Amino acid sequence: MSLYDLYVPPMLRGLSALSKILDKAAAHAETKKIDPSVFLAARLYPDMYPLTRQVQIVCDMARRGAIRLAGGEPPSVPDTETTVAELKARIAATIAAINAIPKADFDRAEERSLTIKVRGSDMVFSGLDFVRIWSLPNFYFHLTTAYAILRHNGVELGKPDFLAG
Report the mean per-residue pLDDT for the chain: 96
Residues belonging to the chain: 165
* 31 CB-contact burial (10 Å; exposed 0-12 / middle 13-18 / buried 19+): exposed
- Cβ atoms of 38 and 153 closer than 8 Å: yes
Q: State how far the Cα of 108 lies from the Cα of 127, in Å rounded to an integer.
A: 9
How would residue 137 be classed by pLDDT, with cut points 50, 70 and 90?
A: very high
Q: State how far the Cα of 67 lies from the Cα of 106, in Å rounded to an integer.
A: 9
Domains of the chain with CATH codes: 3-157 (1.20.120.450)
pLDDT at 161 over 70: yes
Q: State how far the Cα of 49 lies from the Cα of 131, in Å rounded to an integer.
A: 23
Kindly state the helix (H) or strand (E) to which residue 32 belongs, with its residue range. helix 3-32
Cα-based distances in Å from 79 to 28, 57, 76: 25, 9, 9
- Cβ atoms of 64 and 149 closer than 8 Å: no
Cα-based distances in Å from 66 to 71, 115, 135: 9, 14, 10
Predicted confidence at residue 164, as pLDDT, reads 82
Residue-wise pLDDT tens digits, 5-40: 999 999 999 999 999 999 999 999 999 999 999 999
What end-to-end distance do the CA atoms of the chain give, in Å?
Answer: 21
Residues facing residue 124 across a β-bridge: 115
Residues of the chain above pLDDT 90, percent: 96
How would residue 165 be classed by pLDDT, with cut points 50, 70 and 90?
A: low
| Phi/psi at 115 (5° precision) | -115, 125
| pTM of the complete model | 0.96
User: Which of 63, 85, 76, 78 minimizes the C-alpha distance to 135?
Assistant: 63
